[in-house]
Amino acid sequence: MSPRKFVLFDIDGTLLRASGSGKAATERAMREVFGTVGRLAEYRFSGKTDWFTLLHLLTPEGFTEAEVEAALVDYDLALARHMSEIMKDYRIHALPGAHELVRALQARPDVVIGILTGNMPQMAAIKLRAAGFDPGDFAVAVYGSEAPMRRQLVPLAIDRAEQYCGLRFTPADVIIIGDTPDDIDCAHSIGAKAIAVATGMQSRAELEQHPPVTVLDDLADTRAVLALILDDAHQNLRI
Ligand SMILES: [Mg+2]
């Protein structure tokens, strides 16, 4: 059986909660690599790629876009090192139903699952492992080091899925699951299906302001989420 659906998961607020560890590691890594954190204290990461975050915080401090881009590899390494040092002080845990849903999808030959995250590559793997996921369970991944705007990651993910399984997924067969309007925007940018979960910083009401989207309180009802993913008839259901 060849795959017929491609499901892309956001990480923070969707699969897991990192409980502030990401921001703490970001502060340390930015000081090490750039010597400043800009206005990080009042910044909200949710839905943004790390590349965008660095541009937003550092261009007001005098850094050029080219300087930020050139430092991304060093930043990825520094961020992973600081995260590894501090993460024992934070509770990083999977959100309700996330493990069960990933396992259920991974077992299906008709579904390819991937990660679409704003995180840097090493940070993504660290957070996933800390919350009990195996990054290798996701056939493809696109990261916040690969484009400043989150929606730019979607075509990259579809290209990678094609490299993985030899099949070009059409937008109607792509499902993007996330916790922010930016995740919903990723789906809308190609006409894919958006499933939003109110387990991050955004409330159900905030997420529902970005139709078409199916908003769930969480991923706990594996069968219901599977039905949403596999059946195109279930648009805009409230569960
Ligand atoms: Mg998120």
The mean predicted confidence, pLDDT, of the chain is: 95
pTM greater than 0.85 (yes/no): yes
CA of 1 to the centre of ligand 1 (A): 32
10 CA to middle of ligand 1, Å?
5
Whether a cis peptide bond, with omega within 30° of 0, leads into 155 is no
Distance 142 CA to ligand 1 centre (A): 14
List, in order of start, the domains of the chain with CATH numbers: 5-18+93-230 (3.40.50.1000), 21-89 (1.10.150.240)
Tens-of-pLDDT digits for all 239 residues of the chain?
A: 778 999 999 999 999 999 999 999 999 999 999 999 999 999 998 899 999 999 999 999 999 999 999 999 999 999 999 999 999 999 999 999 999 999 999 999 999 999 999 999 999 999 999 999 999 999 999 999 999 999 999 999 999 999 999 999 999 999 999 999 999 999 999 999 999 999 999 999 999 999 999 999 999 999 999 999 997 554 444 44
Encoded tokens for 3: 């795959």
pLDDT digits (tens, 9 = 90+) for 17-33: 999 999 999 999 999 99
Q: Which alpha helices (H) appear in the chain, and where do they start and end?
A: 21-34, 50-58, 65-70, 72-86, 98-106, 121-130, 153-165, 181-190, 204-207, 222-230
Residue 4 CB burial class (10 angstroms; 0-12, 13-18, ≥19): middle
